[in-house]
Each structure stands twice: as structure tokens, then as C-alpha cells.
Amino acid sequence: MKKNKKLLITIDGPSASGKGTVAKLVASKLGLGYLDSGLIYRELAYQITQKNFTLETDWIELSKNLDLGQINNHIKELKTEEIGSIASKAAAVTEIRKNLLDIQRKFYEDSPSGIVADGRDMGTVVFPDADFKFFVTAGVGVRADRRFKELQLLNKNVIYDQVVQDLINRDNRDSSRDCAPLKAAEGAITIDTTTMPAEEAATIIIDLILS
């Protein structure tokens, strides 16, 4: 690990792969900031639904000056499948991704010691020069189980088979979009959490960083 330098660590991966939980653990143990890029897109999606915007041009305009000031007031709403689906569609729009780049990069610039950034294009597009890059993945069945339990905790009425199908659709949309498709960054270390607890995955990442 480089001394006397702000650390920049990226952790990418598909939905419900555990990347967020792992990223939070790594950030906490290393004393770094944590950037959940997916939450930014979900906030955009939330505001789109609140304003009943249906035109892509309106989505793009909204993303130019996205206000994140109220995000903590409706965190539960951001976790719904409806918001996630809209966020995924918005993320496929090139202009929107460009508009949200500055927000994400400024988070790192303003951090005193560095950050752990989790998302789908952190290591490929947003922070291509990151010090350490990781790609966290897991089997679709395990990911569906995790998402299903998460939605149940939010008191959402969900059907398991629909959760599986939503994940498959999201994977296809994220990996096939023209702008910043979901993929492991060049040189990224892949960690499969299908049978691995988040704490173990975080420990592996921290050991690699500190070695």
C-alpha cells in the first residue's frame, strides 16, 4: 500500500453480488470514505418518478444538477425493484453517465484519506487509474436469495421467481449497454462470494491492499 497518498479502491460487480457490503467493510477497516455510486443513480430514478418524467430528455436535464441533499430521507424507497429498474435504464444513457461523473469524482477529491468506490464502472470509467481494482461476483441463485431477503426486510411484497427474472434482466441490460457496460476492469482481481461471507471477502481485499 502506498504511504502518504490518498487511496483509491474500486469494487465493481453485478446486483446483489455483495459488493456494497464488502466495500463498506473495507472502507471502515481502512478508515476510508465510501462511495455507493448505485445510490446516486437510484436517487436520480427516485426524482424521475416523483416528477413523473417519461422523456429521456427530461432525465438528462435532471441529471445535470442532481440534488442529493434529501437522499437520506427516503433510503428505503431507493431500494425497491421499481427504482432499481429505472436506475438501470437511466444508467444506459450516455449523457446521464457523463453528467454524473463529476459528482463521483468530486467525492474522491474531497476525501481526506481516500475512498472505496462501489458500482458497475468504477474501475473501468469513473476511476480508471485507481490504486486497486476488484470485481465481486456471485451465482445468480445466491444473488436472488440475497435480494429477496433484502426486499422482505423492507416489507415489500415480492415473488421469488420475479426477483430472479429481474436480476437476469438487469444483468443483461448492464452488461450489454453501449456506454460503460458492466465488466471487470483490466487488471481487476475477481472475488466470487457465492459461498464466501462478506467479512471473508473484505479480509482478502484488505490483505491484498496491505501486502
Q: How far apart are CA 22 and CA 19, in angstroms?
A: 5
Is residue 182 included in any domain, yes or no? Answer: yes
pLDDT at 108: 97
Is residue 130 included in any domain, yes or no? Answer: yes
Is residue 65 included in any domain, yes or no? Answer: yes
What SS3 class is residue 173?
helix
Number of domains forming the structure of the chain: 1
Is residue 124 included in any domain, yes or no? Answer: yes
Is residue 1 included in any domain, yes or no? Answer: no
Q: What are phi and psi of 10, to 5 degrees?
A: -115, 140
65 burial class (0-12, 13-18, 19+ CB within 10 angstroms)? exposed
Output the domain CATH number for residue 104: 3.40.50.300
DSSP 94-162: HHHHHHHHHHHHHHHHH-SSEEEEEESSIIIII-TT-SEEEEEE--HHHHHHHHHHHHHHTT----HHH
For helices 94-110 and 56-64, give the axis angle rounded to 10 degrees: 20
Please give the residue range of the domain that contains residue 63. 7-205
Query: pLDDT 10s per residue in the chain (211 long)?
Result: 555 579 999 999 999 999 999 999 999 999 999 999 999 999 999 999 999 999 999 999 999 999 999 999 999 899 888 998 899 899 989 999 999 999 999 999 999 999 999 999 999 999 999 999 999 999 999 999 999 998 888 877 889 999 999 999 989 988 998 888 999 999 999 999 999 999 999 999 999 999 9
pLDDT at 3: 58
Is residue 78 included in any domain, yes or no? Answer: yes
Is residue 187 included in any domain, yes or no? Answer: yes
pLDDT at 45: 98
DSSP 188: P
Query: Of 107, 105, 118, 126, whose CA–CA distance to 179 is shortest?
Result: 126
Q: How far apart are CA 185 and CA 203, in angstroms?
A: 21
Task: Tell me the pTM.
Answer: 0.91
pLDDT at 179: 87
pLDDT at 1: 56
Is residue 2 included in any domain, yes or no? Answer: no
